[in-house]
């Protein structure tokens, strides 16, 4: 199954995980109106999640690339993604609780984004991403929210930022989400289509990225060394 994501490098992280992780291993249940799937109780914790050999079609700066993407996630710590085209890495991104580092190998450009330096927080942060990526954290949020027969409606809104996630009650598949920073008008929104694709739009950080991914090999509890270094004499650095 392919999934299309348009605009925003952060969205690549969500795209990779939503399309490739084995979310459908959670059995469908009927349940009561205000309960959540009891299969949440059967989910096991993991130390890390690693997905390799993801097939990706990328449109970046009006250029198209076929790439292999890898994604690495340490709960409560970091998310990391890398895209390789013809044996050459074209981009790398790391997201932590207080910063984002985006390395564009093609243009020799690095964006460094620190939450503490911003007048207004971004529309989405590390914790929001974890809720959508990590089934255990999604279950924790679901326990606090009302549900109906079909959906779980999660509202994570905070001052000046609307944050809403709608989740399929039966199998915890994300159907829709909306993140909107009222002060800056930055947004990240996404919705699953009737054909089960997921389309996301964003004007946050990068405006002209399209990513379509499928496949991937999944490993749990693998330890990787995260490398976000770059040659500062050869790259232009932008602090956001």
- Give the model confidence (pLDDT) of 16-37 as tens digits: 555 545 443 333 333 444 445 5
Question: What pLDDT was estimated at residue 22?
Answer: 46
Q: Are 153 and 166 in contact (CB under 8 A)?
A: yes
Read off the pTM.
Answer: 0.77
Question: What pLDDT was estimated at residue 47?
Answer: 92
Tokens for 39, please give them.
């299969």
Question: What pLDDT was estimated at residue 12?
Answer: 55
- Give the model confidence (pLDDT) of 130-154 as tens digits: 988 888 888 887 665 666 778 888 8
Confidence band (pLDDT; 50, 70, 90) for 110?
Answer: very high
Q: What is the pLDDT averaged over residues 215-230?
A: 88
Backbone angles phi, psi at 64, to 5 degrees: -105, 140
CATH code for 3-24+36-239? 2.50.20
Backbone angles phi, psi at 122, to 5 degrees: -70, 165
Q: How many CB atoms lie within 10 A of CB 30?
A: 9
* 19 vs 75, residue with greater confidence: 75
Confidence band (pLDDT; 50, 70, 90) for 236?
Answer: very high
Q: What is the pLDDT averaged over residues 224-237?
A: 91
Lowest mean pLDDT among 30-34, 49-53, 100-104, 118-122: 30-34
Q: Is residue 237 pLDDT above 90, yes or no?
A: yes
Q: Is residue 83 pLDDT above 90, yes or no?
A: no
SS (H, E, C) the chain: CCEEEECCHHHHHHHHHHHHCCHHHCCCCCCCCCCCCHHHHHCCCCCCEEEEEEEEEEEECCEEEEEEEEEEEECCCEEEEEEEECCEEEEEEEEECCEEEEEECCCCEEEEEEHHHCCCCCCCCHHHHHHHHCHHHHHHHHCCCCECCCEEEEECCECCEEEEEEEECCCCCEEEEEEEECCCCEEEEEEECCCCCEEEEECCCCCCEEEEEECCEEEECCCCCCCCCCCCCCCEEEEC
Distance CA 174, CA 12 (A): 15
- Give the model confidence (pLDDT) of 44-67 as tens digits: 888 999 988 887 776 666 777 788
Question: What pLDDT was estimated at residue 132?
Answer: 86
* 42 vs 235, residue with greater confidence: 235
State percent of the chain over pLDDT 70.
72
* For the chain, domain boundaries: 3-24+36-239
């Amino acid at each position: 199954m392919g999934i299309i994501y348009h605009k925003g490098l952060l969205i690549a992280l969500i795209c990779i995980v939503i399309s490739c992780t084995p979310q459908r291993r959670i059995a469908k249940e009927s349940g009561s109106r205000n309960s959540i799937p009891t299969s949440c109780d059967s989910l096991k914790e993991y130390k890390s999640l690693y997905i390799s050999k993801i097939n990706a079609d990328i449109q970046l700066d009006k250029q198209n690339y076929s790439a292999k993407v890898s994604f690495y996630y340490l709960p409560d710590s970091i998310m990391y993604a890398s895209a390789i085209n013809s044996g050459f890495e074209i981009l790398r991104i790391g997201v932590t609780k207080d910063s984002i580092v985006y390395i564009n190998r093609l243009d020799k450009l690095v964006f460094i984004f620190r939450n503490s330096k911003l007048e207004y927080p971004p529309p989405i942060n590390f914790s929001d991403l974890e809720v959508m990526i990590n089934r255990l954290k999604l279950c924790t949020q679901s326990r606090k929210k009302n549900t109906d027969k079909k959906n779980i409606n999660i509202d994570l809104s905070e001052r000046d930022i609307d944050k809403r996630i709608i989740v399929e009650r039966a199998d915890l598949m994300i159907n829709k989400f909306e993140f909107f920073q009222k002060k800056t008008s930055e947004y990240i929104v996404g919705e699953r289509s009737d054909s089960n694709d997921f389309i996301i739009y964003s004007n946050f950080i990068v405006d002209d990225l399209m990513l379509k991914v499928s496949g991937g090999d999944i490993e749990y509890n693998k330890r990787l060394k995260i490398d976000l270094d770059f040659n500062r004499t050869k790259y232009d650095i932008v602090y956001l």
